[in-house]
Amino acid sequence: MKPASILTMNNSKPIPMLEVQAITKKFGELVANDSVSLKVSKGEIHALLGENGAGKSTLVKMLYGSLQPDGGKIIWHGNAVEIKSPSQARSTGIGMVFQHFSLFDSLSVAENIALSLGKENDIRDIGEKARQVSEDYGLPLQPDTIIGDMSVGERQRVEIVRCLLQNPELIILDEPTSVLTPQEADNLFETLERLRAEGRSILYISHRLDEVQKMCDHATILRHGKVVGECTPADETASSLANLMVGEDVGDVTRSAKGADAGEVVLELNNVSQPAATPFAMELKGINLKVRAGEVVGVAGVAGNGQSEFFDVLSGETTSDNNSGVRFNGKDCGSLGITGRRILGGAFVAEERLGHSAVPDLSLSENLVLARHGSDADKFISMGAVGVINNKAVKSTTKRICEEMDVRKSGEDPDASALSGGNLQKFIMGRELDRDPSILIVNQPTWGVDAGAAQKIRQAVIDLTRSGSAVVVISQDLDEIMEISDRIAVMSDGNLSEPENADAITREEIGLKMGGLHDG
């Protein structure tokens, strides 16, 4: 008898490894998935496309057992199955790498992986297996490293390696390259080719349409919870794929001549050094930077080279005894924390949305108050003997931000965790832009965001500079850096290169600097 995976139907067509038939999922009155159907064959990389809030994450969470469908069927190797939990999904042969990481910050790489593999595995054996798999697939890891000390890109590697160690037949990847450098992404693509050659299948969610064209055999497009089309990505253009996802033409980012309106220096770093906070963190080494009103300075770099530490120094999460080392609008602020720098005109968007930029279990309006009560008390707090929150002002501001940034949500004021990753990012960006800051520091502005939303965020950043604000964008997306920056610097091994005019520096030069070729 033939294995189930190669049984045929009607003696002609192979039975799909996975088939979804009319899957429906509702959250109250919101229909997140409306009779969604698709097929994934053995050895196929199948793209699942759609803008933020289209229902992609809801669908794959049902395939992984994190959610249960309200209707429809899941067919696995020709047999209907009910997947009640992630552990059942893994035992069935389905693995998943989530966009939002499911890792314990206080545990090591090996300990996090061990939690998903069962008690019968020795932690030392798991660590060695993880090291070997990570090396084999070009995703290097040290098993003893504590998760809390790792960059977002490094945490993504842990998720992928943990999934591979479960030996799945079908791997669901939700925005796998959103926090990877181009080099890391290329390594991942080689890994996917190898997995496809081994007969495994990939269900691939990504907003990076060029990689979908490059890697994927077939694509299913969702819009507002429904399947609106299927295609072969290689036969499409990035523009046509984006139009299928959004339902209309996606415009280009527009700006005036780069650097044409740069004015006075409003953000300045003077020989800022910062020792590594942990054995796995990066030391910052004598960083100097001047950012002028009306310009975007982009900071590129490979994950783990000091970008997170750089953001912390700029935002005030890490303070210094050298008060003059950081200056906002001509005022020394190296020893001031986040609220003190917000009062001086700063606004900050961290790379990690849930848990850093927003508290998952608080509503959007509560997160707004949490972020801005110290610097915008006159707008949201009625001061007196006891401060009282002005709920009307908070609600109206939350509503305005959601409307301006097209934040799609299931209710009027849902918890932050209820939003898709891209919609939460739009809200967080809108929350900071709404303050009309004179200085904006943003880390990974369009991580996991669809083409239309990415265009909106990038345009909003550029429009902010037109009003005279200064912006620092830390991003691992070189296309994004090249598109919106007036000047570009590179972070490598805790050093920041001298910013260069974006029209003069090439991708090759940026790549060399990312690899450690420092100025001088």
pLDDT, tens only, 204-238: 998 788 889 989 999 999 988 999 999 999 999 88
Task: Report yes or no on 458 lying in a domain.
Answer: yes
Distance CA 410, CA 75 (A): 29
Mark which of 226, 246, 266 sits at the end of a domain: 246
Tell me which H or E stretch contains 428: helix 421-433
Query: Do 186 and 287 lie in a common domain?
Result: no
Query: Do 509 and 364 lie in a common domain?
Result: no
Average pLDDT for residues 388-394, to the nearest whole number? Answer: 87
pLDDT of 199: 92
Tokens, residue 309 = 């530490």
Distance CA 18, CA 7 (A): 13
What 3 state SS string does 128-157 have?
A: HHHHHHHHHCCCCCCCCCEHHHCCHHHHHH
Query: Do 449 and 504 lie in a common domain?
Result: yes
pLDDT of 137: 76
Contact between residue 337 and residue 314 where contact means Cβ atoms under 8 Å apart: no
pLDDT of 339: 93
Task: Report yes or no on 420 lying in a domain.
Answer: yes
Q: How distant, in Å, are the alpha carbons of 7, 200, 219, 231 from that of 13?
A: 9, 18, 19, 19
Query: Do 318 and 376 lie in a common domain?
Result: no
Mark which of 370, 404, 436 sits at the end of a domain: 436
355: left (phi over 0), alpha (psi -120 to 50) or beta: left
Query: Do 408 and 471 lie in a common domain?
Result: no
Contact between residue 272 and residue 325 where contact means Cβ atoms under 8 Å apart: yes
pLDDT confidence band for 6 (50 / 70 / 90): very low
Distance CA 350, CA 443 (A): 5
Distance CA 519, CA 495 (A): 10
3-state DSSP assignment of residue 479: helix
Contact between residue 354 and residue 445 where contact means Cβ atoms under 8 Å apart: no
Task: Report yes or no on 127 lying in a domain.
Answer: no
Distance CA 429, CA 446 (A): 10
Query: Do 323 and 223 lie in a common domain?
Result: no
What digits encode the pLDDT tens for the residues 45-100? 999 998 777 889 899 999 999 999 999 999 999 999 999 999 999 999 999 987 76
212: domain CATH number? 3.40.50.300
Order of strands, sheet of 326-328, starting from the edge strand that comes earlier in the sequence: 284-292, 265-274, 326-328, 331-332
pLDDT of 385: 46
Task: Report yes or no on 500 lying in a domain.
Answer: yes
Query: Do 179 and 87 lie in a common domain?
Result: yes
Task: Report yes or no on 99 lying in a domain.
Answer: no
Which one, of 509, 470, 469, lies nearest residue 490 by Cα? Answer: 509
Query: Do 382 and 494 lie in a common domain?
Result: no
Specify the number of domains making up the chain.
3
Distance CA 492, CA 453 (A): 29
Mark which of 246, 277, 295 sits at the end of a domain: 246
Distance CA 218, CA 46 (A): 5
pLDDT confidence band for 3 (50 / 70 / 90): very low
User: Which structural domain, as residue segments, surrounds residue 318?
Assistant: 251-345+437-520
Average pLDDT for residues 356-373, to the nearest whole number? Answer: 92
Beta-ladder partners of 276: none
Q: How distant, in Å, are the alpha carbons of 362, 369, 497 from that of 148?
A: 22, 27, 27
How far is Cα of residue 459 from the mean position of the Cα atoms in its chain?
Answer: 18
Mean per-residue pLDDT over the chain, rounded: 86
Q: Which runs of consecutive H residues, i.e. helices, occur in 19-178? A: 56-63, 86-92, 109-115, 123-136, 152-165
Distance CA 280, CA 461 (A): 32
pLDDT of 245: 80
Query: Do 478 and 432 lie in a common domain?
Result: no
How far is Cα of residue 483 from the mean position of the Cα atoms in its chain?
Answer: 18
Task: Report yes or no on 107 lying in a domain.
Answer: no
Contact between residue 185 and residue 28 where contact means Cβ atoms under 8 Å apart: no
Task: Report yes or no on 51 lying in a domain.
Answer: yes
Query: Do 231 and 375 lie in a common domain?
Result: no
Tokens, residue 121 = 């595995």
Query: Do 89 and 174 lie in a common domain?
Result: yes
Beta-ladder partners of 328: 267, 331
What digits encode the pLDDT tens for the residues 270-303? 999 999 887 767 899 999 999 999 999 999 987 7
Average pLDDT for residues 100-124, to the nearest whole number? Answer: 82
Q: Which runs of consecutive H residues, i.e. helices, occur in 271-374? A: 307-315, 338-343, 364-372
Q: Is the pLDDT of residue 175 over 60?
A: yes
Query: Do 88 and 173 lie in a common domain?
Result: yes
Task: Report yes or no on 22 lying in a domain.
Answer: yes
pLDDT of 189: 87
